[in-house]
Structure 1
């Protein structure tokens, strides 16, 4: 049995496995069938992608997936993401970044190519968008007469705005011929008078949600150009809020759902009543004010002030005007003088705080401080010099030189150690005796 050398913890080994998977495999496309789909309240989706031979755990975090596809149990999908490891369970999984239905790739490519082409041509530009009438009288619904979308729109329109005349132009919304029938509807409605029907103020093209294949007719270039050429404003209400078609981009307004389109067209009746009541109060108040004003004018005229003495009235008015002019001039003069005084005062303040003045004052203070510092330094140096001289004299008097000058000497061995005891001296030893001037070397016998 071999002894362990570098022992890894479970966490360390799992992280190394994760690094290998992420580094070696990275981002990939995988296709299969969805099972065990679970949508959390957080918006994250957990599911298994499987085929006949294996299965793969997957997670798609809320906000990270760039897709309008709704993942459902049993759906055949193609997923794009990164292979990683969920460390808490030691389970490898795919973090999904993009999803599309199996076989959708070619349709998505066609969608993006047509979208780019029409955008560059200018069909989506805001300058071509027509304004949707705020209070339409006639609305045309181009949709299936039997679908849920038409029922939702009719319910909302009749409940919120029963005065709107609603026309339903029946067309297919799925299968072959959808775009052809929708284009024909746009042409007929734009020539309504020639066909003996009311001219609509707005056209709504709508249907419920579905897969990209179900909605593909609304991505056809011919329908996009027919919507663009319509002289009547067109609202596109195709699919659910997450569904986008070429018709949405080229229409004058995109509604997230057919119901939302109906709500945009039909102002709430109660809200309109409150608005009209407010307008009524404003009009009544304005009329009362106008009538009162004219009554006052008529009463003034009836008293005959202008009729009996027009010159007097004019002279009084002229005198009043002169008085006002004089007071205005006097007030202007006083105001200008006050402003001038304030200006002079502020100029003086500015001059006192001018950088040149402040710099000059700072230079003067610095010069004074430097002079005081120099004087203090000289005084301190003099004191230190006197102390050094005094201590030098003390050292000279107490030092060996003064002792030697009085005729004394001291003896050391060759190593310079001062000898104080004769017992320390050996026979034949060299001694050095130092005098005031010079030294004497001797040998002990």
Structure 2
């Protein structure tokens, strides 16, 4: 019995993968090609195709290796890759596993620098409208740099020499190495939590690798977001970093940054002395002009003859006094005449005479009131007597005295035979009493005769 000669796809793929892995020429290969279909996964893995004019090679670079790439891989770039070739069992195809990547022809640091510069330029980070003005006379200065070294020493010496009245605070910061980016960002943010007038961010010179922390996007954004104006002072005059483009002002060296941050005390003193001299000259000229004007005034005609100056006023006072006296005399005369008239009117209106006249008027009015009251009472009495006579004449009792009666049924007066019928009980009121009666029958009244019930 022979064994089955057929292999599974999985088994064949595993066999081929072992052959690839065992080949020493595929364990460490150097490949040059053009990037195509570049996809950077959120996990940090980079998937791409490496191609030339006639062939294509699938490739992947895992996040652990991708973190060491300084630039952003993009389709169309020609790159130099070191890695190994193996088989991806799930798809059964071989691919390149990249361990390092650098651009062909230029360094990866330079490419990363240009890429970030282009990105931040598009976002407006370098726009002059975002640059903050430095204060002319800062009182508190923050310095973000390494706590030791020539850079911090040069900054402190320059600040103390030029403007010793400013208070300088050093924020000790790592400016080189893997932790430098985070340290720089934290120091910038810490300075913004306090009330500083200006901030110097920088370090001394070095290689592009040494200065690279100042080319990181996180540092650029921290400088851009700073509330405090930032002076960038990284490296020597020929060194340029992304921080220099984003900062509100770029200094060639740390010493130059300190000179830009504060005015010179000696220059300020010279300026004060110059302005003081100018003020003295201006005040002296003003005094000379005023003295000349004063001399002209004191020698002019009014001041030379002061009595002529106030003579017209004396005449006006005298005329005003005469006019006032005349007005006073006229007012007194008018008041005296009014008093005499009032006294005469008062004499004609003696209170005793008015009282007597009023008493006489009251007496007459009282008599008229009594007469009117008596007349009114008589009239009302006559009206009452007439009304009594009329009421008495219309009284039912008077009718009863003449033989008339009033029948009642259930308390109501019976006015018609139609109100009763045979058998009804009636009460008949007469002059001297009441009779209870029963209706036997009703007889309608014929024309010309009356029936009383």
Smaller-chain TM-score bracket: 0.3 to 0.5
Per the normalisation by structure 1, the TM-score is 0.43
